[in-house]
Structure 1
Amino acid sequence: MSQTLITKIDAFVEQAIKLQLDQIGRPPLTTYDPEWPSDCLRGETEPDESIQWLPERQADNNNSCHDMFDRLEQALGYSIHTDLRTWYSRYWSEPLPATSEWGDLSLLFLWSDKDCERLRGNLVGHLLTKQKQKQPATLFFACTEPDGEKFISIDNQTGEIWLEQPGKKPIMKLADSLALFLDMLTPKTIPDLEQ
């Protein structure tokens, strides 16, 4: 696990939280769903009511993500890049918005242990499509905004960061590593996710 990457992830999340509290004066809101609990939630409320949330650091001994990646590797027959493992094993969170020289994007995270299986299914589908198209294996961790039509991924072999469009070859290399990519981002305030 890269200590530099961990430091960069922590710094970005801390900046995002500070920006939110400085500009909005409170954590963002989401709709409480008792079927979808998370350590991110702040306080208590009734189902379908608004509740505040903030990114929450995962426990170092959280095995849900590690087990999920181990099973993913067994199914695929190869190792998943350590930067992606580190990314999804560091924080519980809703997507965090950011801006960059390429435009706005949302950084994807896991909401809870329960969310690990959904991510595994999405990654398997993505990787099988890449394999079928005889393209290098990439693993997504962000999507473009406001359309979400493109995504940002890690090349599983090199660790490089690429802009991609579903079903096509990577469009453009954005950075040599996830740590360097995070240096190019500026957090934005987090929108409320009320329904």
Structure 2
Amino acid sequence: MRQTLIEKIDLFIEQALSLQLSQTGRLPLTIHDPEWPSECLQQPSESGHQIPWKPVLQSPDNNSCHDMLDRLEAALGYSIHQDLRTWYSRYWSDPLPATSDWGDLSLLFLWSEKDCERLRGNLIGHLLTKQKQKQPATLFFACTEPDGEKFLSIDNQTGEVWLEQPGKKPIMKLADSLEAFLGKLTPKPIPDME
């Protein structure tokens, strides 16, 4: 049976957490910043101290991500691919590391509702550049590691996953869909933030 995109995302998150716990015996740590609260944080802490975190399902009645994407569509005048809507509205999380046949990468997520506007601004900038260069609209969801010089995106028309470099045409098609692409990824341990 073919798994849905939501099932693939859930499976990747489950595998990433399982790997983390088996290799370190604990959740990853991040520096607590009271300016950037998140449901991902697992215990209260003082500002500047390390605190455990983990990816957390967004509430089904959380509309902040959907509202942000609706406003993005209104600004652009066209619809955003459903796979990208699903991707950014499924989990709150810091970026998660993974490896693939094409190298290491970092999967991007939203940390909190406050993060939605930052993402919207970045997506608008990216899409306006694509429009100016008369290239097909793509929407990023990951970047390459360790340099971060390239990124992975979803073609807004076809849903295909592409490797890109800022300001240039897509370099290489990696998968026919985000669902297929996730099936080719292996999670890596999540580094602590210092």
- Shorter-chain TM-score range: over 0.9
Which letter does structure 1 place at the counterpart of 2:122? Answer: N
Which letter does structure 1 place at the counterpart of 2:96? Answer: L
Helix, strand or coil at the partner of 1:42: coil
Q: Distance in 2 between matches of 1:142 and 1:164?
A: 10
CA RMSD in angstroms, aligned pairs only: 0.6
Give, in angstroms, the shift of residue 185 of structure 1: 0.2
Give, in angstroms, the shift of residue 134 of structure 1: 0.2
1:161 aligns with 2:154: no
Which letter does structure 1 place at the counterpart of 2:31? Answer: T
Helix, strand or coil at the partner of 1:41: coil
1:105 aligned partner: 105
Q: Distance in 2 between matches of 1:84 and 1:188?
A: 22
| Aligned sequence identity (%) | 79
Q: Distance in 2 between matches of 1:76 and 1:70?
A: 10
Helix, strand or coil at the partner of 1:80: coil
2:30 aligned partner: 30
Matches within 5 A, 1:175-190: 175-190=175-190
1:51 aligned partner: 51
1:139 aligns with 2:139: yes
Q: Distance in 1 between matches of 2:53 and 2:186?
A: 20
TM-score (norm. length: structure 1): 0.98
Give, in angstroms, the shift of residue 44 of structure 1: 1.1
TM-score (norm. length: structure 2): 0.98
1:41 aligned partner: 41
Helix, strand or coil at the partner of 1:169: coil
Helix, strand or coil at the partner of 1:136: coil
Which letter does structure 1 place at the counterpart of 2:9? Answer: I
Q: Distance in 2 between matches of 1:19 and 1:60?
A: 27
1:116 aligned partner: 116
Q: Distance in 2 between matches of 1:169 and 1:137?
A: 10
Q: Distance in 1 between matches of 2:193 and 2:49?
A: 11
Matches within 5 A, 1:7-18: 7-18=7-18
Give, in angstroms, the shift of residue 15 of structure 1: 0.2
1:86 aligned partner: 86
Q: Distance in 1 between matches of 2:159 and 2:48?
A: 40
1:172 aligns with 2:172: yes
1:71 aligned partner: 71
2:151 aligned partner: 151
Helix, strand or coil at the partner of 2:4: helix
Which letter does structure 2 place at the counterpart of 1:15? Answer: Q
1:126 aligns with 2:126: yes
Equivalenced residue count is 192
Give, in angstroms, the shift of residue 28 of structure 1: 0.5
Which letter does structure 2 place at the counterpart of 1:147? Answer: D
Q: Distance in 2 between matches of 1:6 and 1:187?
A: 17
Q: Distance in 2 between matches of 1:60 and 1:18?
A: 24
Helix, strand or coil at the partner of 1:35: coil
